[in-house]
């Protein structure tokens, strides 16, 4: 008794190794079951968790920057405008080459608009018979201006409410068919995409290292022959999205250019390559839709000789291409590895529980096993084989219970 | 001895089942504690992990595409411009209907600017008395042009440095009040949003399947009556963000339209619906801020009769609406399930450790328990009940230590 | 036998506490190994998992809104345009101050273009000798219009195919050097960034609380002296990205302004501050590149006295600044905590397996240990010390096997 004794106890605590006392049973059934479940769990970890799901990896989301450049010219010959050549600054809006760009395919121009008064386009709510049908200052939701309160002649037979507006009003009831710039399907777009995974300090471009500039100047993307060429024909993209360019060009729409940068950074950098896919993003189903297609209005402003502002209003139908970059990169990290390994190990302890249950209920020698597996300690501190018997009875009761329950059901 | 024996050992290794030998104690205290902690862990897994946190799910981030379309007309009557009707191509910038759109609410126009020389707007740094106060080629940070080095009359009493600039200069000291286009609060915007979760191959639109086009043409979003209508009144959104439209219209600001697509893909697709919310994103607190509100300048360029370029500079105040789409989708995946199940199982082993500690230190019969639980093996390989005694002494020492420590503190 | 007995069995099941029977071995080697591995795992969890990787946290991705405002004026003096002052509405495109803004640094203007016919710019594919070399309606990929089928004089010595186009054509073979707006490096940009982590209901701005508006009006970002000032000099950003502004200004490029909002929300809100960094995003390597630099074309449209539309085409070279906001916030959550704790606990069970293996194969007293650790049960249900012997033999066999295998290899 004293420090020496105290120290020896401490040392015993530190270096005394505790290990479970095990009961070894030579039963082929339970043994085989045990090994089988064990094997299944190990196989699940090795094949599914590690190989397929790569759960030993830490992940990061992609950060991306995109620039685009469209090329192509179209000549149109209409009765209103005559011969007109459309080049990139005219039909790509906005012109900067952002990741979302719009290519004009159909146009309803309204030249010579000035601020004045004119009769509304006839519709159920704008038709009138006298001034009392029009309200001064009223704005129709789908109208083109603010009502003056007068009812005026629109044509020989129709009277409509007069509006303050940019007159003459646009009449967009008839959409040019076929689309004015339907030949836009032959245009090409160069997409430059720069990505990074900041967590792994990884950067890459879709202009791959092994491709030289001579090839890039002449190639066009094709899933089979040129899968890494970043120059896309508009018509090809629309076709891959399952649409008909000439139909889509009429009323416009939105096409997603999806660039998938999912990468396993365990492999060398050259295996991390973008995968392109295309799909239509807007709803072409007319049933649960409003304003199908894609269009917007913009204007070019002029001042005439008398310094009065006039404008050409353009209702622009066209296809908006949204470059959508997504992806996750994975790289080995000890934390998810330990987590997955630990979880699998913990599940192995389930195996023992299952096999114990099988051993103690289904085996012929279950009483022997139970007697040896469990050491019972009664309240007086003596070990007695009491529960072993009770346990056997309990199992019997359970069996009887299910037996009678079945009889009742029949 | 030989191959037959060797095989039998191998088989024994493979099919010999090892199971722990257990000591069963009929002590209600320890037993109840054990079951209680076990129950708590199982309840945590079932209720919190599985039900609330849905930790058995694999997750994916949303990918989204947005298009917007504003509708509405305003009539203004100012002394400078006279009667003017503002329509969408004039007050929505940019006009394409991107996910971030700006609605003009207040304007300071400066028409007739040409490249020439004129006196600077008076301020502390631009006022001068003679040419020596002005530096040729100098550019003030908050100035409007490049100084010529001359000091000229701005008004009858004030002289300022002359600048090369687009003259006449804009004077933006007085902001129109009330806002010129304050009635913009009655405008509506249709927001079309298409999302996908690429990992689960799930796509959806905010124009829900069960809503027909007749409803969509006339509805306006209202949290209670029309929560799925994708047409929003600008004033309603600003009010929901906790702001006053007429105040915000004066100097502009940024409103976030947040669309939350958090979805549990275990449920049918129709339960995955967007939740809209609105909040002001810019800082209206003037204390730690510069340039409060939201404004920018743009110009319309003209050429007059003599082919000299003139422009109308417009300082545009207004509200930028940023449509921000976010969300995570979850779907059952075996990896996170195993990880969470395994982790919970591993924590169950902690229960045994705690109960063992209670059993061996707090129970009346702790010596009996320890004697039966631990089989001691001394260096000679014989089992002796030595440690059991030492352990008891150790516990006593610990108790004495705390007892004396307490006495000392008093 | 009856309900009373049945109940007592149930109670015994509920409150009978089962604990492992342990064998305690006083072997310093195994004990030390056990404690060492145990210590290493606990240290890994405490230091790496909790402290460095913060694996006890739930995470959320940042949602962000950005507005930008450029300031600065430049005076240029060219033979074509004469003295011209460039202000923000002229050189920032688009003018709205979005998160991606373009600053003009070099310009090739082509004034006075109208829709007409003119000879193509000479190149290998556009040069011709007679009309038969030109195809009516043909569009060259890198051409400026649609061919009329005629071969006309371009200059005294060169004939090229005539095209329908906006004439006169732009000749962009000579890029102004030095860049026309090279002084743009002195411009400043104010970046306002508002972020939120919706899962944690956390919002913050890059205009920090403790900074007052007086400071913000005069500061410029500097990594050492003013790391929280949101006003950046363009030249400073390009230099930090490792580029030379005067070189980059010639042909343009893309600079990423990366704002890192990685935050540990366990700490007070004031510790969550943005970290700025800058890098060039486009590819300046000419080998695997097309169209290096960054440029686009836009036009200003005019109508002359005779109402014929003319335009000034501008090929704009410049630097696009992309504000890229990224980051993850972490906050304590019970699920990842339990998962990591559980996984570590499960790994502790590996320790026992390793130490058991050491104890049963490497120790002098391994037979004694095995005899005590394993209780063997033969098919007749009697425990016999048979396997213990066999196990010893098995170990011997394994040793012999490796011994002979080694001999063979030598």
Q: What is the pLDDT of residues B316-336, one digit of tens each?
A: 999 999 999 999 999 988 888
Q: Is C198 helix (H, G, I), strand (E, B) or coil?
A: helix
Q: Which of 188-217 (A) contact C at CB < 8 A?
A: 188, 190, 192, 194, 198, 205, 207-213, 216-217
pLDDT reported for residue A8: 66
Please give the Cα distance from A252 to A292 (Å, whole number): 8
Average pLDDT over residues C330-353: 82
Average pLDDT over residues B389-396: 46
Radius of gyration of chain C (CA): 39
pLDDT reported for residue A326: 92
Question: A141 at the B interface (CB within 8 A)?
Answer: yes
Q: What is the pLDDT of residues A182-193, one digit of tens each?
A: 999 999 999 999
> In this predicted model, which residue has the larger pLDDT, B398 or C155?
C155
Which phi and psi (to 5°) does residue A360 adopt?
-90, -5
Average pLDDT over residues A273-288: 87
Cβ neighbour number for residue A303 with a 10 Å cutoff: 21
Report the sign of the C-alpha dihedral through residues B76, B81, B85, B87, in that order: negative
Q: Which of A21-35, A254-268, B55-69, C109-123 has the lowest mean pLDDT?
A: A21-35
- DSSP codes of every residue in B148-183: EEEEEESSSS-EEEEEEEEESPP--SS--SS-TTGG
Which phi and psi (to 5°) does residue C90 adopt?
-90, -40
Considering chain C, what is the average pLDDT of its residues?
Answer: 83
Please give the Cα distance from C92 to A83 (Å, whole number): 33
> In this predicted model, which residue has the larger pLDDT, B43 or C221?
C221
Neighbours of A, requiring at least 3 CB pairs below 8 Å, are B, C
> In this predicted model, which residue has the larger pLDDT, B220 or C37?
B220
B343/A340 CB distance under 8 A: no
B19/A355 CB distance under 8 A: yes
**How close does chain A come to B135, measured CA to CA in Å?**
36
**How close does chain B come to C127, measured CA to CA in Å?**
34
Count residue pairs from B and C with Cβ separation < 8 A: 233
Q: Which of 232-261 (C) contact A at CB < 8 A?
A: 254, 256, 258, 260
Average pLDDT over residues A46-55: 80
Is the separation of the CB atoms in C21 and B23 below 8 Å?
A: yes
C30/A16 CB distance under 8 A: no
Q: Which of A342-356, C52-66, C374-388 has the lowest mean pLDDT?
A: C374-388
Tokens linked to C250: 């010639």
- Burial grade of C144 (CB within 10 A; 0-12, 13-18, 19 or more): buried
Is the pLDDT at A383 greater than 50? The verdict is: no
Q: Which of A160-169, B379-388, C167-176, C338-347 has the lowest mean pLDDT?
A: B379-388
Measured CA distances, A373 to B24, B77, B136, C377 (Å): 10, 97, 100, 10
- Chain B CB contacts of A142 under 8 Å are 71
Question: A5 at the B interface (CB within 8 A)?
Answer: yes
Please give the Cα distance from C139 to C147 (Å, whole number): 6
Angle, nearest 10°, between helix axes A334-361 and A28-43? 160
Q: Which of A60-64, A175-179, B1-5 has the lowest mean pLDDT?
A: B1-5
Which letter, b or e, does each residue of A184-206 get, where b requires 16 or more Cβ atoms within 10 Å of its Cβ?
Answer: bbbbbbbbbbbbbbbbbebebbb
pLDDT reported for residue A381: 43
> In this predicted model, which residue has the larger pLDDT, A304 or B250?
B250
Q: Which of A36-45, A65-74, B169-178 has the lowest mean pLDDT?
A: A36-45
- Chain B CB contacts of C27 under 8 Å are 379
Report the sign of the C-alpha dihedral through residues C29, C30, C32, C36, in that order: positive
Q: What is the pLDDT of residues A219-272, one digit of tens each?
A: 999 999 999 999 999 999 999 999 999 999 999 999 999 999 999 998 998 899
pLDDT reported for residue C3: 55
Question: B397 at the A interface (CB within 8 A)?
Answer: yes
Q: What is the largest CA-CA distance in chain C?
A: 123
B84/A115 CB distance under 8 A: yes
Which phi and psi (to 5°) does residue A127 adopt?
-65, 145
Question: A355 at the B interface (CB within 8 A)?
Answer: yes
Which phi and psi (to 5°) does residue A95 adopt?
-80, -10
A299/B89 CB distance under 8 A: yes
Is the pLDDT at A321 greater than 90? The verdict is: yes
Edge to edge, the sheet with strand C374-377 lists B17-20, A22-25, C374-377
pLDDT reported for residue A54: 81
pLDDT reported for residue A408: 45
Is the pLDDT at B272 greater than 80? The verdict is: yes
Average pLDDT over residues B257-281: 93
- DSSP category for residue B326: E
Question: B89 at the A interface (CB within 8 A)?
Answer: yes
Q: What percent of chain A has pLDDT over 70?
A: 88
A49/B338 CB distance under 8 A: yes
pLDDT reported for residue C403: 47
pLDDT reported for residue A389: 42
Please give the Cα distance from C350 to C29 (Å, whole number): 17
A48/B24 CB distance under 8 A: no
Is the pLDDT at C392 greater than 50? The verdict is: no
Beta strands at A275-280 and A309-326: parallel, antiparallel or unpaired? unpaired
Please give the Cα distance from A323 to C17 (Å, whole number): 63
C393/B26 CB distance under 8 A: no
Please give the Cα distance from C291 to C297 (Å, whole number): 14
Please give the Cα distance from A336 to A57 (Å, whole number): 6
**Greatest mean pLDDT among B21-35, B380-394, C229-243:** C229-243
Say which residues have a Cβ less than 8 Å from residue B340's Cβ, sequence separation at least 6.
Answer: A343, B45, B49, B50, B55, B56, C335, C338, C339
User: Please, which pLDDT band fits residue B7 given cuts at 50, 70 and 90?
Assistant: low
Is the pLDDT at B247 greater than 70? The verdict is: yes
Q: Which residue of B has its CA nearest to A30?
A: B17
**How close does chain B come to C177, measured CA to CA in Å?**
21
pLDDT reported for residue C387: 38
Q: What percent of chain A has pLDDT over 90?
A: 39
Question: A21 at the B interface (CB within 8 A)?
Answer: yes
Please give the Cα distance from A23 to B25 (Å, whole number): 19
Please give the Cα distance from C87 to B297 (Å, whole number): 10
Is the pLDDT at C41 greater than 60? The verdict is: yes
With CA atoms as reference, report the closest residue to C183 among B164, B146, B149, B144: B146
Average pLDDT over residues B68-90: 88
pLDDT reported for residue B10: 66
Please give the Cα distance from B133 to B119 (Å, whole number): 13
Q: Which of A30-39, A242-251, B196-205, B261-270 has the lowest mean pLDDT?
A: A30-39
Q: Which of 51-70 (B) contact C at CB < 8 A?
A: 53, 55, 61
A16/C22 CB distance under 8 A: no
Neighbours of B, requiring at least 3 CB pairs below 8 Å, are A, C
pLDDT reported for residue B221: 95
> In this predicted model, which residue has the larger pLDDT, A62 or C353?
A62
With CA atoms as reference, report the closest residue to C74 among B143, A325, A358, B333: B143
Q: What is the pLDDT of residues A96-129, one digit of tens each?
A: 888 999 999 999 999 889 999 999 999 888 888 8
Q: Note every long-range contact of B45-49, with CB atoms under 8 Å and residues 24 or more positions apart, other chains counting.
A: B45/B340, B45/B341, B45/B344, B48/C334, B48/C335, B49/B340, B49/B344, B49/C335, B49/C338
Q: Which pTM does this prediction carry? A: 0.85
pLDDT reported for residue C377: 66
Is the separation of the CB atoms in B221 and B236 below 8 Å?
A: yes
Measured CA distances, A115 to A167, A313, A375, B82 (Å): 6, 12, 101, 10
Tokens linked to B162: 């002359």
pLDDT reported for residue A337: 83
Average pLDDT over residues B45-64: 84
C344/A342 CB distance under 8 A: yes
CB-nearest to A164 from B83, B231, B393 is: B83
Q: What percent of chain C has pLDDT over 90?
A: 40
- Chain C CB contacts of B359 under 8 Å are 17, 19
A339/B341 CB distance under 8 A: no
Is the pLDDT at B393 greater than 70? The verdict is: no
C23/B343 CB distance under 8 A: no
Considering chain A, what is the average pLDDT of its residues?
Answer: 83
Q: What is the pLDDT of residues C13-25, one digit of tens each?
A: 666 777 788 888 7
**How close does chain B come to C72, measured CA to CA in Å?**
6
**Greatest mean pLDDT among A287-301, C125-139, C230-244:** C230-244
Average pLDDT over residues A24-50: 82
Count residue pairs from A and B with Cβ separation < 8 A: 236
- Chain C CB contacts of A365 under 8 Å are 379, 381
Is the pLDDT at C410 greater than 50? The verdict is: no
Q: Which of A223-237, B130-144, C157-171, C263-277 has the lowest mean pLDDT?
A: B130-144
> In this predicted model, which residue has the larger pLDDT, C409 or B106?
B106
CB-nearest to B26 from A32, A55, A378 is: A378
Average pLDDT over residues C389-400: 47
User: Please, which pLDDT band fits residue B1 given cuts at 50, 70 and 90?
Assistant: very low
Radius of gyration of chain B (CA): 39
Average pLDDT over residues B291-313: 87
Q: Which residue of B has its CA nearest to A33?
A: B15
User: Please, which pLDDT band fits residue C222 given cuts at 50, 70 and 90?
Assistant: very high
pLDDT reported for residue B382: 45
pLDDT reported for residue B82: 82
Which phi and psi (to 5°) does residue B278 adopt?
-135, 140
How many CA within 13 A on the CB side of residue C243? 27
- Burial grade of C303 (CB within 10 A; 0-12, 13-18, 19 or more): buried
Which phi and psi (to 5°) does residue B395 adopt?
-60, -45
pLDDT reported for residue A190: 94
Please give the Cα distance from C400 to A176 (Å, whole number): 91
Is the pLDDT at B235 greater than 70? The verdict is: yes
- Chain A CB contacts of C93 under 8 Å are 96
Question: A339 at the B interface (CB within 8 A)?
Answer: yes
pLDDT reported for residue C118: 92
C20/B23 CB distance under 8 A: yes
Residue carrying structure tokens 């150790």: B394
Cβ neighbour number for residue C203 with a 10 Å cutoff: 14
Tokens linked to A228: 């890494």
Rounded to two decimals, the ipTM of the complex is 0.81
**How close does chain B come to A138, measured CA to CA in Å?**
10
pLDDT reported for residue C382: 45
How many CA within 13 A on the CB side of residue A39? 8
Tokens linked to B71: 């509708």
Question: A289 at the B interface (CB within 8 A)?
Answer: yes
Please give the Cα distance from A193 to A257 (Å, whole number): 12
A142/B71 CB distance under 8 A: yes
Question: C383 at the A interface (CB within 8 A)?
Answer: yes
């Amino acid at each position: 008794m004293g420090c020496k004794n105290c120290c020896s106890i401490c040392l015993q605590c530190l270096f005394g190794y505790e290990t479970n006392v095990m009961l070894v049973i030579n039963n082929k059934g339970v043994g085989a079951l045990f090994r089988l479940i064990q094997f299944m769990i190990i196989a699940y970890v090795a094949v599914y968790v590690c190989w397929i799901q790569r759960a030993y990896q830490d992940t990061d989301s992609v950060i991306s920057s995109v620039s685009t450049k469209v090329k192509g010219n179209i000549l149109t010959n209409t009765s209103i405008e005559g011969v007109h050549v459309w080049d990139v600054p005219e039909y790509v809006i906005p012109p900067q080459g952002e990741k979302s760009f719009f290519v004009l395919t159909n146009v309803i121009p309204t030249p010579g608009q000035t601020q004045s008064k004119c009769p509304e386009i006839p519709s159920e709510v704008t038709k009138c018979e006298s001034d009392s049908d029009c309200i001064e200052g009223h704005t129709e939701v789908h109208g083109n201006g603010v009502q003056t309160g007068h009812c005026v002649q629109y044509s020989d037979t129709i009277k409509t409410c007069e509006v303050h507006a940019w007159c003459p009003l646009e009449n967009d009831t008839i959409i040019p068919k076929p689309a004015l710039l339907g030949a836009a399907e032959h245009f090409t777009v160069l997409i430059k995409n720069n990505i990074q995974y900041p967590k792994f300090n990884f950067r890459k471009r879709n202009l791959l290292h092994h491709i030289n500039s001579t090839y890039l100047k002449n190639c066009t993307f094709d899933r089979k022959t040129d899968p890494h060429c970043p120059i896309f024909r508009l018509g090809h993209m629309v076709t891959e999205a399952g649409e008909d360019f000439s139909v889509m060009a009429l009323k416009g729409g939105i096409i997603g250019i999806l660039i998938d940068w999912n990468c396993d950074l365990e492999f060398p950098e050259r295996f991390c390559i973008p995968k392109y896919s295309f799909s239509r993003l807007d709803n072409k189903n007319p049933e649960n839709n409003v304003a199908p297609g894609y269009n917007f209005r913009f204007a070019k402003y002029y001042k005439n000789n008398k310094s009065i502002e006039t404008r050409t209003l353009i209702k622009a139908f066209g296809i908006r291409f949204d470059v959508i970059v997504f992806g996750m990169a994975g790289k080995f990290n000890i934390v998810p590895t330990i987590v997955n390994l630990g979880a699998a190990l913990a599940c192995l302890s389930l195996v023992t529980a299952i096999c114990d249950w099988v051993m103690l209920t289904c085996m012929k020698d279950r009483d022997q096993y139970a007697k040896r597996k469990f050491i019972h300690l009664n309240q007086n501190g003596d070990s007695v084989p009491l529960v072993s018997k009770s346990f056997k009875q309990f199992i019997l009761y359970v069996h009887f219970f299910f037996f009678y329950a079945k009889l009742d059901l029949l």
